[in-house]
Amino acid sequence: MTGQWLLLSPHRGNRPWQGRQEPLPDPDSTPYDPSCYLCPGNLRANEERNPAYTGTFVFDNDFPAILADSSDTVPDHSELFQSRPATGTCRVICFSHRHDLTLARMNATQIQQVVTTWMKQAGELGQTYPWVQIFENKGEIMGCSNPHPHGQIWASNFLPQEPDAEDRCQKDYFKTHHHPLLLDYLEKEAALKERMVCENGTWAALVPYWAVWPFETMLIPKHPVQRITDLDTSQQKDLSQIMNTLLVKYDNIFSTSFAYSMGWHGAPFLTGDTDHWQLHAHYYPPLFRSATVKKFMVGYEMLGCAQRDITPETAARIIRDQSDCHYTQREA
């Protein structure tokens, strides 16, 4: 949440592009794919069979990045080579039994099932691990391995870098202001309105002031909520509704299934020192000019600092102005 970035000239976004164009994947229109590892009743890559589930389905990742036992890893405490063993659990969460039903195409009631599954998983894994990272990689260009709507959960015995930085920044702010940074920030954004995308009774969606991806957004509850497990019934309902609105608008920008990586950040578990935290979700979509041209974080961005091709105010207006009716539902 801190740092510097450049906002280049207004002509930057119109520069000629003869570079990489992403192929458009065929939209998945089949509710069941017999070759899909995630569809109900099918065999997964490890030969285990999925149950004939409806709604959401969670299973332990067959190819986990973090293992529950890392006793064969030797820690290194030397000055230049510091390492320590990481332990954890990785799970996959199928958002629907329907192969073709992305979150953007679900109604708020169906999205709410995903929200309650996220909450249940966080509550369960948070009893063992301080950090439970819930995320979704959507779309081939974000490295998603399967079009069946799904996300992942990685729980770990350590706080990864991004939440660790957020923890420190929010703590520093709280020490001085005695109020959560993100709630103060949201109050200012709500007054300014220029970066707000949409809101309802208990949630707001906005393009953050510091956004680096063209259509980056954040979801923030309007009232103090430290962890996803703390959401009350009306906040869960409103979250499902605002996700529905945001994701339909996202798909409508380029009339395509909008790719992104998204995930939840909230107070770490197994600690009581959490007054400074405010729950929020980050959405990082890569598309920029069209359904086939994405933003690359390269060159100056890798070697200098992030620069933006469109302003966050313009991005917010573009998202905000999209219809709430999914482009596939509109009459020709």
Interface with ligand H2U in residues 22-51 (CB under 6 A): 37, 44-45
Strand residue runs (E) in 112-190: 131-138, 150-156
Contact 226, 266 (CB under 8 A): yes
Phi, psi of 229 (to 5 degrees): -70, -15
User: What SS3 class is residue 21?
Assistant: coil
Long-range contacts of 294-302 (CB under 8 A, 24+ apart): 294/20, 294/22, 294/141, 294/259, 295/213, 295/214, 296/20, 297/212, 300/6, 301/212
Catalytic residue check, 150: yes
Shortest gap between Cβ of 193 and ligand H2U (angstroms)? 35
Shortest gap between Cβ of 157 and ligand H2U (angstroms)? 19
- 257/251 Cα distance (integer angstroms): 5
- 9/308 Cα distance (integer angstroms): 9
The reply to whether 152 sits near ligand H2U by the rule CB under 6 A is: yes
Candidates 56-64, 73-81, 161-169, 227-235: pick the segment binding ligand H2U (CB under 6 A): 56-64
* Residues in contact with ligand H2U, shown as a per-residue x/- string from 124 to 143 under the rule CB under 6 A: -------------x------
Nearer to ligand H2U by C-beta: 140 or 275?
Answer: 140
Active-site annotation holder among 97, 99, 148, 150: 150
Amino acid at 192: L
Please select the residue that binds ligand H2U; options are 22, 28, 32, 61, rule is CB under 6 A: 61
Total number of residues that touch ligand H2U (CB under 6 A): 12
Contact 99, 36 (CB under 8 A): yes
Nearer to ligand H2U by C-beta: 63 or 81?
Answer: 63
Nearest-CB residue for ligand H2U: 44
Contact 132, 120 (CB under 8 A): no
Shortest gap between Cβ of 142 and ligand H2U (angstroms)? 8
Residue 284 tokens read as: 């990082």
Contact 118, 265 (CB under 8 A): no
Shortest gap between Cβ of 35 and ligand H2U (angstroms)? 11
The reply to whether 235 sits near ligand H2U by the rule CB under 6 A is: no
Contact 189, 196 (CB under 8 A): yes
The reply to whether 63 sits near ligand H2U by the rule CB under 6 A is: yes
Shortest gap between Cβ of 90 and ligand H2U (angstroms)? 7
The reply to whether 168 sits near ligand H2U by the rule CB under 6 A is: no
Interface with ligand H2U in residues 66-125 (CB under 6 A): 92
Nearer to ligand H2U by C-beta: 116 or 146?
Answer: 146
Residues known to be catalytic: 150
